[in-house]
Amino acid sequence: MASETSSRKDDQLEIVLNGQVTFLDKSNGFDNYEFLHDATTGVEIEKIDLTTEFFGHKINLPFMISSMTGGSEKSTGINEKLAVVASELGIPIGIGSQRQALENNNYHNSYKIIRKNASDVPVFANIGAAEISLKFNRDDIIKIIDLVEADGLIIHINPLQELIQKEGNPQFKDFLQNLSLITAEFDFPVIVKEVGAGISKHAAKKLLDSGARGIDVAGAGGTSWAGVELLRKGEEKSDFWDWGLPTSYCVRTVSELKADYNFTLIGSGGLKNGFDIAKAIALGADITASAKPLLDSLSSNGAGSVIDLINGWFDTVRKIMFLTGSQTLSELDKTKLIPKKNLH
Ligand SMILES: Cc1cc2nc3c(=O)[nH]c(=O)nc-3n(C[C@H](O)[C@H](O)[C@H](O)COP(=O)(O)O)c2cc1C
């Protein structure tokens, strides 16, 4: 019989795929910007190189597949296909929370299948801050890293989701202290991410001071996890449905910490096309990431359609780089954006 954790994951998948779980009255914030058109562009579009570096690995696009699933009946097939996409495109992939893998061995293959199909790209293990806050268990961390032969660990912080979830555990008192123990103990990189409510500059500073080497803002504007948990409870209305910091705000403000810290900034949360991706990079993201749009495409039309979707997004990014006079990813910076309120 499926455990409580496994059934919850399948419930969430069902609701994310079939429910209305987007933010109701809040966008990712990128629509507040326009690109600065460069009528004198000299960019050679065919020479644009989108490869970049990600924790010591060369990757083909500044993009990763965000952590989604594992540890349930439905997740094995999804993870297999997402891994094929990552391998085919030469991009990193995050695994869904491995809490279930620590509870029993029932669905270990749903996690292992990622490395089996993506032997040559960075793979990141995943666990929730709620688990880390309860106790720092060295063996558990080693177990989830080894299970998927991971290159690093993603820890998701989700206070809003834990607060709204019917079985949630909104206890994070010792999280930062335990994060420091993990980053001091292990050499692999630790990325901390939200799940759709965003990470502020203030919070990011505390995470970096605790040894995080990557911040994935996973801001508001895409999938509302308060929404997912409310629908699971059979509720449809709550003032918290739209809680969270828009992705553009998070990327812009967290990137200011680059003056003092060396870290990788991942811009994600509600990215829906190449324009959003290019704006996230221009505002300071090193790479970008996406979850639900990839899952939607996968479930309707399979792995090939996800590959086409991502390639299409980056075809748009190349065109934007051409039109803004950005030959390299580092030239696609804040100077290439204008806040729309200044366009008059
Ligand atoms: C079905 C599904 C399951 C998810 N499970 C996890 C998870 O286990 N761990 C995690 O860190 N984030 C999880 N997320 C959050 C995503 O990684 C991402 O941060 C969030 O959905 C916002 O990105 P989006 O707007 O592109 O969907 C999940 C998202 C989806 C859609």
Q: Band of the pLDDT at 135, cuts 50, 70, 90?
A: confident
Instruction: List b or e across 173-193, with b for residues whose CB sees 16 or more CB atoms inside 10 angstroms.
Output: eebbebbebbbeebebbbbbb
According to the model, what pLDDT value does residue 1 have?
Answer: 53
Ligand 1 atom 30, closest CA: 68
Distance, CA 1 to ligand 1 centroid (Å)?
25
Break the chain into its structural domains and give their ranges. Answer: 4-31+61-300
Ligand 1 atom 23, closest CA: 269
The ligand 1 atom at the shortest distance from the C-alpha of residue 13 is 1
The ligand 1 atom at the shortest distance from the C-alpha of residue 66 is 17
The ligand 1 atom at the shortest distance from the C-alpha of residue 67 is 17
pLDDT tens profile 268-308? 999 999 999 999 999 999 999 999 999 999 999 999 999 99
Q: Does residue 13 have its Cβ closer than 6 Å to ligand 1?
A: yes
CA distance 127 to 107: 16
The ligand 1 atom at the shortest distance from the C-alpha of residue 70 is 8
According to the model, what pLDDT value does residue 5 have?
Answer: 86
Q: Does residue 81 have its Cβ closer than 6 Å to ligand 1?
A: no
| CA-based nearest residue to 228, from 300, 302, 310, 291 | 291
| CA-based nearest residue to 82, from 293, 317, 316, 312 | 293
How many Å separate Cα 67 from the centre of its chain? 6
The third-level CATH classification (topology) of the domain covering 4-31+61-300 is TIM Barrel (3.20.20)
pTM for the predicted model, two decimal places: 0.98
pLDDT tens profile 202-257? 999 999 999 999 999 999 999 999 999 999 999 988 999 999 999 999 999 999 99
CA distance 74 to 165: 21
Q: Does residue 224 have its Cβ closer than 6 Å to ligand 1?
A: no
Tell me what the mean pLDDT of segment 168-179 comes to. Answer: 95
Tell me what the mean pLDDT of segment 169-188 comes to. Answer: 96
Q: Does residue 268 have its Cβ closer than 6 Å to ligand 1?
A: yes
Cβ partners under 8 Å of residue 123, min gap 6: 86, 92, 93, 95, 114, 115, 148, 149, 150, 151
Distance, CA 158 to ligand 1 centroid (Å)?
10
